[in-house]
């Protein structure tokens, strides 16, 4: 959530950032925020003055009573009663203005970093780099949704029977390669200095609000009605919320966590090859890295996180590219996002497998996540990234490494899998 003083003091910068995002009605909304903010401050000042007058009258009544001037004391009491009514009305007006302001602020997305390119859609994202050679497949190469049936390693029909569409069952070597990928990603993160946590996979409303999933993505999350809990769309939510309402010691920074969780998303369900097979699921596995940084270090940390994800893709021998997302394609809470996409040889297209983002103080303001640095309490910067999400990684491994004799397993995974080919 944007900070009010920042909006107040940097109106033109905020409006320029919101226009880069193509945020509708930016001018009107920011003007409404500033109007409500002024109303809130004026009401607070009036309330403070009224309370001061009431306190002064209370002292005056005591002095009058002590002096035996009952008539003047009674008159002062009547004035005090009027002041109490006015105080109550002002307090109610202040709470209303604060709530209206809060309700409006949570609808405003983060301001893009200056390096974010202009653009409305994914077609306008900037290609930062490409790495690796595009594989040439044999004449009878198949997309992964056919390969998994051929080798009987993933069963979508069983998943439909048990749960519904978008909940696959991994079997045999399919299950083992899933476990291998998870352990490989975790081990690589630990070697890079991240501390592993295993968080809950359901969160309360406060946690969803803290990282910005609520109220923005409420319809995309599974909701447990009786318990008022949400199944997590990503481990970002519970891991970052470990530090909600916390004043971090300066010596703890930077905080670097990694966690594996299943993830649940309701938005899958459109039709076409782009969502076929493993391309989009309701439930999937993901390893997430989260960092909490001093503001001056966060963009260097973001570059480091991008390089970490790239190193995983290089070790998996997957051709990939890095995109800097344009203003219109960024997530609601992000200030700058890099997407990593791998090449799917049988589908002939790029598949997103990771987003690495810096949220600056946007999440920290919602979370009340601060640190006392050099005697001053200040908001920190939060960052996260997929390192990595499994479904499309597995789809690309299966497609890119298929041969007439089976599917070759990347060398780095063989010690984790216990086999080097699926046949």
How many other CB atoms are there within 10 angstroms of residue 377's CB atom?
Answer: 9
Identify the architecture of domain 4-105 in CATH: Orthogonal Bundle (1.10)
The mean per-residue pLDDT over the stretch 5-18 comes to 98
Query: What is the tens place of the pLDDT at every residue in 52-101?
Result: 999 898 888 888 888 888 888 888 888 889 899 999 999 999 999 999 99
Query: What is the tens place of the pLDDT at every residue in 309-345?
Result: 999 999 999 999 999 999 999 999 999 999 999 999 9
Question: Given this model, what pLDDT does residue 217 score?
Answer: 81
CATH number belonging to domain 122-422: 3.30.930.10
Domain boundaries, the chain: 4-105, 122-422
Question: Given this model, what pLDDT does residue 318 score?
Answer: 98
Find the range with the poorest average confidence among 61-70, 126-135, 367-376: 61-70
Tokens standing for residue 157: 């029909």
Question: Given this model, what pLDDT does residue 136 score?
Answer: 92
The mean per-residue pLDDT over the stretch 1-19 comes to 97
How many other CB atoms are there within 10 angstroms of residue 310's CB atom?
Answer: 18
- Does residue 118 have a pLDDT over 70? yes
- Does residue 349 have a pLDDT over 80? yes
Annotated binding-site residue? 355: yes
Question: Given this model, what pLDDT does residue 58 score?
Answer: 84
Q: How far apart are CA 48 and CA 61, in angstroms?
A: 20
Question: Given this model, what pLDDT does residue 140 score?
Answer: 92
* DSSP strands (E only) in 204-254: 223-224, 229-231, 247-248
Q: How far apart are CA 385 and CA 356, in angstroms?
A: 4
Annotated binding-site residue? 354: yes
The reported pTM is 0.93
- Does residue 382 have a pLDDT over 90? yes
- Does residue 239 have a pLDDT over 60? yes
DSSP H or E stretch at residue 127: strand 126-131
Annotated binding-site residue? 352: yes
Annotated binding-site residue? 31: no
Question: Given this model, what pLDDT does residue 69 score?
Answer: 85
Question: Given this model, what pLDDT does residue 64 score?
Answer: 83
Q: How far apart are CA 124 and CA 110, in angstroms?
A: 19
- Does residue 271 have a pLDDT over 80? no
Annotated binding-site residue? 203: no
Distances from the Cα of 350 to the Cαs of 126, 324, 339, 344, in angstroms?
14, 15, 11, 6
Annotated binding-site residue? 265: yes
Query: What is the tens place of the pLDDT at every residue in 383-399?
Result: 999 999 999 999 999 99
Question: Given this model, what pLDDT does residue 73 score?
Answer: 81
Bridging pattern class, strands 336-344 and 406-408: unpaired
- Does residue 274 have a pLDDT over 80? no
- Does residue 269 have a pLDDT over 60? no
Q: How far apart are CA 376 and CA 151, in angstroms?
A: 60
Query: What is the tens place of the pLDDT at every residue in 281-297?
Result: 999 999 999 999 999 99
- Does residue 413 have a pLDDT over 70? yes
Percent of the chain with pLDDT over 70: 98
Dihedral Cα 184, 186, 192, 195, nearest 10 deg: -160
Tokens standing for residue 105: 């602020």
Let me know: does 243 contact 367? Beta carbons within 8 Å.
yes
Annotated binding-site residue? 353: yes
- Does residue 50 have a pLDDT over 60? yes
- Does residue 124 have a pLDDT over 70? yes
Question: Given this model, what pLDDT does residue 263 score?
Answer: 98
The mean per-residue pLDDT over the stretch 196-215 comes to 97
- Does residue 273 have a pLDDT over 90? no
Q: How far apart are CA 116 and CA 20, in angstroms?
A: 9
Question: Given this model, what pLDDT does residue 299 score?
Answer: 98
Annotated binding-site residue? 8: no
Predicted confidence band of residue 228 (pLDDT cuts 50, 70, 90): very high
Question: Given this model, what pLDDT does residue 270 score?
Answer: 52
DSSP sequence for 274-302? GGSTTSS-SEEEEEEEEEEE-GGGHHHHH
Task: Give the mean pLDDT of the chain.
Answer: 95
Give yes or no for a cis peptide into 254 (omega within 30° of 0). Answer: yes
Q: How far apart are CA 167 and CA 161, in angstroms?
A: 10
Give the orientation angle of helix 144-151 with respect to helix 390-400, to 10 degrees.
Answer: 80
């Amino acid at each position: 959530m944007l900070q009010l003083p920042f909006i107040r003091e940097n109106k033109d910068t905020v409006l320029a950032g919101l226009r880069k995002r193509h945020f509708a009605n930016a001018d009107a909304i920011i003007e409404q925020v500033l109007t409500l903010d002024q109303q809130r401050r004026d009401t607070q000042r009036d309330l403070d003055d009224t309370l001061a007058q009431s306190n002064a009258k209370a002292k005056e009544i005591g002095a009058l009573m002590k002096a035996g001037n009952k008539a003047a004391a009674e008159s002062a009491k009547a004035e005090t009663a009027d002041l109490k009514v006015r105080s109550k009305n002002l307090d109610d007006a202040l709470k209303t203005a604060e709530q209206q302001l809060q309700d409006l602020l949570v609808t405003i997305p983060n301001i893009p970093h200056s390096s974010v390119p202009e653009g409305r859609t994914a077609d306008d994202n900037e290609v930062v780099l490409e790495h690796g050679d595009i594989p040439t497949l044999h004449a009878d190469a198949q997309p992964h949704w056919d390969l998994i049936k051929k080798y009987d390693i993933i069963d979508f029909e069983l998943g439909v029977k048990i749960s519904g569409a978008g909940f696959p069952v991994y079997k045999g070597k399919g299950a083992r390669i899933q476990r291998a990928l998870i352990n490989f990603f975790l081990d690589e993160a630990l070697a890079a200095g991240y501390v592993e946590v295993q968080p809950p996979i359901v969160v309360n409303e406060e946690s969803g609000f803290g990282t910005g999933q609520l109220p923005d993505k409420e319809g995309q999350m599974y909701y447990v009605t009786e318990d008022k809990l949400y199944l997590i769309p990503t481990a970002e939510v519970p891991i970052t919320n470990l530090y909600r309402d916390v004043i971090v010691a300066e010596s703890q920074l930077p905080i670097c966590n990694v966690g594996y969780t299943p993830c649940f998303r309701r938005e899958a369900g459109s039709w076409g090859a782009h969502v076929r097979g493993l391309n989009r699921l309701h439930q999937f596995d993901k390893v997430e890295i989260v960092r909490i940084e001093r503001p001056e270090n966060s963009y260097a940390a973001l570059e480091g996180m991008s390089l970490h994800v790239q190193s995983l893709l290089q070790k998996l021998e997957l051709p990939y590219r890095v995109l800097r997302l344009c203003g219109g394609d960024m997530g609601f809470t992000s200030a700058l996002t890099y997407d990593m996409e791998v090449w799917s040889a049988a589908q002939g297209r790029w598949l997103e497998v990771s987003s690495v983002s810096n949220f600056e103080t946007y999440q920290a303001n919602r979370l009340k996540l601060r640190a006392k640095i050099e005697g001053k309490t200040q908001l920190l910067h939060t960052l996260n990234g997929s390192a990595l999400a499994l479904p499309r990684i597995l789809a690309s491994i299966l497609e890119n490494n298929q041969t007439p004799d089976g599917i070759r397993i990347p060398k780095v995974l063989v010690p984790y899998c216990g086999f080097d080919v699926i046949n």
